[in-house]
């Protein structure tokens, strides 16, 4: 009964948001959060109203990457108010509720799913054009909770790096989305090649085209290849989205966004 009531609240809350997109990866560290915040920043710069939900309860990195740390969300009888970045992106993360950034969240599956469902039902997102949901890596409880809780989710974007193990894991994300009948918007190959800081040419470290090949084999759209770019990493550590800089990774990223938005 309580769950049905919450589902109704989620439907009402999510009904005010035009597009809901979850960002998935099979493996950790491939750049899923980086893709999420840069997609958010690009859409925001295009004049869209954007929210970012950090679905990673164990490793909430969105606050740091969006440059909003040491803030605390307010709540009242209407719900929880999201944090708004200086650029106007609304965001919610378990990270905003932890006493300090070294505090681990030591919870088991059901409690984690509960927290994410509450972020969908109780956060006052308001009318948004896009809600982007960053998820932890893998194909477990939490990814399924997110996909099933949002009734009319647009679909998932899957991030991988080009090397075999990452691509193998990305194929599992594709299989999960297919099993749960969630549309797959496409695959992004991140860290495909390295931008040499001296000559700006792209060097292939992990091989080339792994993500593209997997996309073709699985019949999923390939959204593009973003090279490893030192400038992108420096930006993200400072809480600045790389798309606000003029670098090689940014140029490639913007092409990816065009494909997602079209």
Binding site for ligand ADP (CB under 6 A): 25, 28-34, 61, 190-191, 226, 228-229, 232-233, 236, 249
Taking the complex as a whole, how short is the minimal distance between the CB of residue 141 and ligand ADP, in angstroms?
A: 18
SS3 readout for the chain: CHHHHHHHHHHHHHCCEEEEEEEECCCCCCCHHHHHHHHHHHHHHCCCCEEEEECCCCCCCHHHHCCCCCCCCCEECCEECCEECCCCCEEECHHHHCCCCCCCCCCCHHHHHHHHHHHHHCECCCCEEEEEEECCCCCCHHHHHHHHHCCCCCEEEEEECCCHHHHHHHHHHHHHHHHCCCCEEEEEEEEEEEECCCCCCEECCCCCCHHHHHHHHHCCCEEEEEEECHHHHHHHHCCCCHHHCCCHHHHHHHHHHHHHHC
**Is 29 one of the annotated binding-site residues?**
yes
- Give the nearer residue to ligand ADP in terms of CB position, either 44 or 121: 44
**Is 30 one of the annotated binding-site residues?**
yes
Taking the complex as a whole, how short is the minimal distance between the CB of residue 21 and ligand ADP, in angstroms?
A: 15
**Is 31 one of the annotated binding-site residues?**
yes
Taking the complex as a whole, how short is the minimal distance between the CB of residue 186 and ligand ADP, in angstroms?
A: 16
**Is 254 one of the annotated binding-site residues?**
no
**Is 32 one of the annotated binding-site residues?**
yes
- Give the nearer residue to ligand ADP in terms of CB position, either 214 or 226: 226
Taking the complex as a whole, how short is the minimal distance between the CB of residue 206 and ligand ADP, in angstroms?
A: 12
- Give the nearer residue to ligand ADP in terms of CB position, either 29 or 183: 29
**Is 28 one of the annotated binding-site residues?**
yes
Taking the complex as a whole, how short is the minimal distance between the CB of residue 9 and ligand ADP, in angstroms?
A: 28
What CA–CA distance (Å, rounded) separates 6 from 178?
26
Annotated binding site: 26-33
Annotated binding site for ATP: 26-33
């Amino acid at each position: 009964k309580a769950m049905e009531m919450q589902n109704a609240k989620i439907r009402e809350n999510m009904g005010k948001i035009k597009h809901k997109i979850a960002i998935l990866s099979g493996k950790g560290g491939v750049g899923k959060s980086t893709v999420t915040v840069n997609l958010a920043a690009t859409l925001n710069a295009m004049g869209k109203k954007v929210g970012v939900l950090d679905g990673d309860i164990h490793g909430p990195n969105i606050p740091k990457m969006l440059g909003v740390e040491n803030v605390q969300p307010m709540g009242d009888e209407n719900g929880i108010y999201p944090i708004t970045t200086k650029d106007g992106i609304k965001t919610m993360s378990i990270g905003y509720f932890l006493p300090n950034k070294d505090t681990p969240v030591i919870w088991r599956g059901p409690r984690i799913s509960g927290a994410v469902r509450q972020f969908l039902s109780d956060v006052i997102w308001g009318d948004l054009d896009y809600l982007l949901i960053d998820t932890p890596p893998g194909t477990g409880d939490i990814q399924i909770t997110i996909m099933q809780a949002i009734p009319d989710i647009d679909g998932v974007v899957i991030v991988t790096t080009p090397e075999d193990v990452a691509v193998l894991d990305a194929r599992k994300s594709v299989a999960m989305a297919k099993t749960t009948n969630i549309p797959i918007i496409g695959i992004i190959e991140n860290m495909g090649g390295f931008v040499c800081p001296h000559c700006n040419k792209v060097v292939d470290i992990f091989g080339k085209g792994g993500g593209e090949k997997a996309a073709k084999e699985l019949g999923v759209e390939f959204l593009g290849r973003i090279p490893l770019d030192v400038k992108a990493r420096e930006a993200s550590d400072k809480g600045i989205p790389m798309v606000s800089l003029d670098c090689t990774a940014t140029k490639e990223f913007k092409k990816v966004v065009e494909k997602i938005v079209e």
